Every structure is written in structure tokens, then in C-alpha cells.
Amino acid sequence: MKLSMIGLGMMGLGMARNLLKAGHELDVFDLSGDACAAVQQAGATAHASAAEAAAGADLLLLMVASGPQCQAALFDSGAAAALSPGAVVLICSTIAPSDARAIAAQLAAMNLSLVDAPASGGQVGANAGQLTIMASGADEAMDRVEPVLQAFAKKVHKLGSVAGLGSTYKVVHQLAAGVHLVAAAELMNLGVQAGCDAERLFDIVSTSAGNSWMFSDRVPRMLQEDPAATSTVDIFIKDLGLVLQTGQEAQASLPLAAAAFQMLVAARGLGHGRDDDSQVIQAYQALTSKD
């Protein structure tokens, strides 16, 4: 099976390295020359375009930032047309369910299959090969992508054959992740303003009923002056935007998701869009009275 990959960002680079460690040969493309060079040093073959990387591939893995970027890589850049007949496209990006359904239809018209398989776990999970995958696709296509997913996943949830189901589960999950992230920032800002010691407060909450995975993972970075970005404010704005879009399509009220979205937008407005998403706390600090 000839395997190609497009997208070597915060998560994609770790996924590519784990595919190479598992013994897969891999052709890659990314707009970042540095990312291509890094994975090329690990044994991949880097190409100058998406179409070149996908040429003749039996399976193409996409790990780009958004649904429009998936569309551009597959159809505008010619990657889908360059695939071998009957090939499978595996999208591990977090995209709108409606985008996944549209892409599946376009691929089907080209005799290509889609496995909609967004990944959760961030850069840390990608580097460790410990991602959680929410996958939907036809049985034959799912069987073909199984060895690829096993190279970087600790758990693969198989959610049926309907296009967009994987993305639906992931988007709904991101509601919890985004709200918990913003709630953690609100809690820490309140605690410090009310006179709590930040380290002691973190220790208490992280070992008590108010804890969440996002609290335990992100608060230590909130307490750092300039943490390295493992998932950015901009990424979570995109994800919560998908949550709100899905809510509108499903006619579901999402007041908590909307509030969390606005706090992240405020953080971006303060210049933190490309910073670690823990820096949503900066929006709270900007709103807090200094009197």
C-alpha cells in the first residue's frame, strides 16, 4: 500500500514520525519547508506539491487545519485526481460534519472513498502515538486504514459507515474541551484575584471534584510566563466555531459554547491567537479590575 500524507503541523508531524516508526513508507507534503525537512530526516520522502505527494497513492492521510484546507488540498491542488483508482482518503483533521459529507460525495464521484476520522489528543498525544480516533466510513475502507490508525492511536472508535459521523462526534467532544479550557482560566483568575495562591489552588482543584482533564493539562501552562504552543487559541476558535455551526444546523442551544468562544476571540484580539490556548487566561486578566 502506497501511503501519502498532507499536513505536518503540531499533530501531523508526530503522526508522520509514528507512521515511519511503524515501518510505513511515506510520501509527504506541507507548506512549511521546515516541517518537510524534519520528517524527511526521519525517513519520509518530501514533495513540492500536494499532487506530487499523492501521485499513485492507495491511501492519502490529511491532517490540515480545516475543512476548506481539506477541499483545497484534495480538489484545488489536484491531490485527489492524482491518487490511484479506488484509493482511500483518511481525514484526521477536525472539520464540520457538513464538510465531511460534501468531501465524501465529491470523492465518491471520482471512485475514491473517505474515512472521516478526526483525532483527539493534541501534540502530546500525536508525538506519543496515543491519539483517540473517532472514525466513520465503509467497512472495506475502514479495514484498509486500520494499520495506519494503529500507528498513532491508542483507541479507535468505529462509528458506522455514514460520512460525517466521525466529525460529528469530534465536534460535540470539542464543546466539552473548549468550555473546560475557558472555565479553568476563569477559575484561576478568580482564585488569584480573591487571594488564593495559584499553585495551591491548582493542587486542590486538580485532586478534587472540580477537576477536568483540560484543567490538569492547561493550568500549569497558564502559570508559565510564555508557554510553548501545543494547541493554539486560533485552533480552539476554529473548533468552537464548528460546535456553534453544528448547533445551528441541529437547532440546539449552546450558551456555554458561545461564551467560551467569545473569551477565546477576546484572547485573539489581545494578540494571543497563535499562542498556546491556555493563554485565554489573558482575556480574563485584561478584564479584571486592578484597583
Q: Which residues are catalytic?
A: 170
**Side by side, which strands form the sheet with 88-91?**
45-46, 26-29, 3-6, 59-62, 88-91, 113-116
Amino acid, single-letter form, for residue 248: Q
Nearest Cα to 279, choosing from 204, 228, 206? 228
Torsion of CA 47, 49, 50, 52, to 10 degrees: -60
Torsion of CA 100, 115, 175, 10, to 10 degrees: -100
Pairing of strands 131-135, 119-120: antiparallel
With residues binned 3-state (H G I as helix, E B as strand, rest as coil), the percentages for the chain, rounded to 5, are 55, 15, 30
The single residue listed with the C-alpha cell 503540531 is: 10
Dihedral pair phi/psi, residue 143, rounded to 5°:
-65, -35
Angular region, 17: left φ>0, alpha ψ -120 to 50, beta rest: alpha
